[in-house]
Amino acid sequence: MLTLPTSVKVFMASEPVDGRKGFDGLMAIVRNGWGRNVFSGHLFVFLGKRRDIVKVLTWSRGGFVLHIKRLERGRFVLPGVAADAQVIELDGTQLAMLLDGIDLRAVKRQAAWEPPPPIA
């Protein structure tokens, strides 16, 4: 089970990337393509062209960490995304489902409950 604090954001590339890219290539996409701070501690997610490999890049005290998962069967499926979007923002639950191979487009999330406004 993947548990992330709410302060950690997850940014995912809307287009597949070259699977040969390592730390430096992925950092360049985050910095130059997305204009994001690679040292923020947020997670940056990339799918390979065949969508059977996912890479998650993050900064961790003193160095970068690159997690890689390859599905032996099936493909990772992107959530619904606007045609012009470069980056998709996910939450920790969506990332965990994606890494488990769940099709996020088929998942229905209940509306979040909000407390009523205080009575004046």
Token readout for 46 is 């990339």
In a domain, 61, yes or no: yes
What is the predicted pLDDT for the residue at 63? 94
Residue 12's identity, in one-letter code, is M
In a domain, 27, yes or no: yes
- In three-state secondary structure terms, 74 is coil
User: What does pTM read for this prediction?
Assistant: 0.84
What is the predicted pLDDT for the residue at 75? 87
In a domain, 89, yes or no: yes
In a domain, 110, yes or no: no
Q: How far, in Å, CA of 39 to CA of 16, rounded?
A: 22
What is the predicted pLDDT for the residue at 94? 86
Domain with 73 in it: 10-105
In a domain, 119, yes or no: no
Question: What is the bridge-based pairing of β-strands 43-47 and 53-60?
Answer: antiparallel
What is the predicted pLDDT for the residue at 112? 83
What is the predicted pLDDT for the residue at 2? 67
In a domain, 47, yes or no: yes
Please state the domain count of the chain: 1
Q: How far, in Å, CA of 32 to CA of 106, rounded?
A: 32
In a domain, 68, yes or no: yes
Instruction: Say what the alpha-carbon torsion angle 48, 37, 94, 116 is, to the nearest 10 degrees.
Output: -160
Residue-level pLDDT, tens digit, the chain, 120 residues: 567 778 889 999 988 999 889 999 999 999 999 999 999 999 999 999 999 999 999 999 899 999 999 988 888 887 777 778 889 999 888 898 888 888 877 777 788 888 888 887
Nearest partner of 56 among 37, 41, 77, judged by Cα: 41
In a domain, 43, yes or no: yes
